[in-house]
Amino acid sequence: MNEFDLIQQFFSHANSNRTDVALGIGDDCALLQPKSGNQIAVTTDTMVDGIHFDSRLSPADLAHKLVAVNLSDLAAMGAEPCWVSLALTLPTSDSNWLTEFGAMLAERLQHYGVSLIGGDTTRGPLTLSLTAQGQLPAGTAMIRGGAKPGDLILVSGSLGDAALALQQDKLVALPAASIASLEQRLFRPTPRVELGLAIRALANACIDISDGLSADLNHILARSSAASGELLGAVIDADKLPVSATAVTVLGAKRAALNGLKGGDDYELCFTVSPDSLQPVLAAAEQCNTRVSVIGEINQTGQLAVQYQQQQLDWQAQGYLHFS
């Protein structure tokens, strides 16, 4: 099977018939017609066999996560997800693998109203790359550089279960259903698209949590410090971090909180809001049926401090770094 037959058979159905796609798969480029006055938000994520996933993930899991991690970036900007391009590197053209992967890719894209508009296929070690594009009114994007002193820090959902799912030696005593729940958080995260759209006019800064809360919050602090010209810091109340009952059972309350602070692959949103905007944010989150928690505050100390039950912890943020 050549690459053109592969695309036609397994991926030509992965679209939502969007009227803003003037020309989709089949030409040298796609042609898009965004709404007048909108900006385009663009993100790319790559998943590499042996680095980002292993044999535990099915082709359907891979497709689900590939879409989720990209749409999570768009959610962090408050952008409506619209179009994606897929670059797929395969060791072989396995029809069963492609059928399962392509079906889940199409299901996830159609769930969010997104069209697959192009991409590339090549032979090589299994590598999945997706470029996602969304749109939003010009000048309204949530960015990392907008946090202000006195802002409250919030996170969506719960933290740490994906990281805990990787610590298999700690899970042996758990019921199978509990392990499956943790792995669901790792293999099939939920991008907070609806929440991102709902808080776009309320949040001052936002980031999606991919490398761990403390590491990603430091990105907000660095960008906001550079933008404002003042050295910003934050204090996090680790005992206020939203963690699952399973994590507390396995690790204990304090260690579960610290796991939530440093663990990656959550794909939740971390954002800052002025105290006056808290109630509208909570109302918007309730409308989205999404839990949000206040976990700390932006200050002018120039550093990220972590406390647990009002006791300062010795903490150094360190997320996952590919080339460290």
Binding residues: 28, 43-45, 52, 73, 119-120, 144, 208, 210-211, 265, 320
User: Residue 183 phi/psi, 5° resolution?
Assistant: -65, -30
The first and second tokens of residue 92, run together, are 């072989």
Which amino acid, one-letter code, is at 175? P
Burial class (CB in 10 A: 0-12, 13-18, 19+), 89: middle
Contact 272, 142 (CB under 8 A): no
Determine the Cα–Cα distance for residues 308 and 26; give it in Å rounded to an integer.
Answer: 56
Determine the Cα–Cα distance for residues 227 and 147; give it in Å rounded to an integer.
Answer: 9
Distances (CA, A) of 105 to 6, 67, 173: 15, 7, 34
Determine the Cα–Cα distance for residues 256 and 245; give it in Å rounded to an integer.
Answer: 9
Contact 85, 14 (CB under 8 A): no
Q: Which of 156, 163, 155, 290 is nearest to 236 (CA)?
A: 155
Binding residues for substrate: 52, 265, 320
Binding residues for ATP: 119-120, 144, 210
Contact 183, 165 (CB under 8 A): yes
E strand intervals along the chain = 21-23, 31-32, 38-48, 80-90, 115-123, 127-137, 152-156, 205-208, 233-237, 269-273, 292-299, 304-308, 311-313
Print burial letters for 144-181: b (CB count within 10 Å at least 16), e (below 16).
bbbbeeebbbbbbbbbbbbbbbeeeeebeebeeebbee
Binding residues for Mg(2+): 28, 43-45, 73, 120, 208, 211
